[in-house]
Amino acid sequence: MDKRDVIPPLSQLEEELSRIRHKRQYAKTLRGTVSVLVIVAAVAVLAATLLFPVFNLHGSSMEPTLNNGELVLAVKNTTLKRGDIIAFYYNNKILVKRVMGFPGEIIDVQEDGTVVVNGEEIDEPYLTSKSFGECDIDFPYTVPENRYFVMGDLRETSLDSRTKEIGAIADEVIVGRIVFRFWPVGKWGAVG
């Protein structure tokens, strides 16, 4: 009798059929899982790029509110108000500063560092100390149309709208409003 003529028992055939079905189901599940992961990753990248940019902060100009090395999340296309912290492009870098003045407003920074907008002193509870800082513009200063006057919280070292180099920033260079800090974990939470 030839080996080709031997028919395996039914139990062996059922076992082989079960193995082949399991292998096909595993491959199908793996393809589906990989597809879902690729789609989720693509959506996350798009959201991070288009709606919620994430930044790793460099420098000390926003201390003590934000510190070097922290990771923050911004929201694009929001209405800004005085005191909001924004990220904006400057010379192929992203800078983070606080909005102090809007188009058409008159800004005056007094010698002791007190900020006056349209004749009213601004309450700044986030500052640890006031400073006139580096400044080469003349006060009082009228914020041009479609621009914002921004300042860092560490006034003695921050380069911001008080200098001609940076000046009042245009609306189109604003990346977004900083709303959340998620690193380091101990400081996790909303940014204000």
Rounded to whole angstroms, the Cα distance separating 100 from 119 reads 13
Q: Taking the mean position of all CA atoms in its chain, how far away is CA 168? A: 21
Question: Do the Cβ atoms of 132 and 141 come closer than 8 Å?
Answer: no
- Look up residue 14 and give its DSSP letter: H
Q: 86 exposed, middle or buried (CB, 10 Å; 0-12, 13-18, 19+)? A: buried
* Catalytic residue selected from 18, 35, 76, 97: 97
Annotated active-site residue 61? The verdict is yes
Rounded to whole angstroms, the Cα distance separating 155 from 132 reads 7
Annotated active-site residue 97? The verdict is yes
* Catalytic residue selected from 18, 61, 93, 129: 61
Rounded to whole angstroms, the Cα distance separating 40 from 96 reads 29
Rounded to whole angstroms, the Cα distance separating 144 from 3 reads 94
Catalytic residues: 61, 97
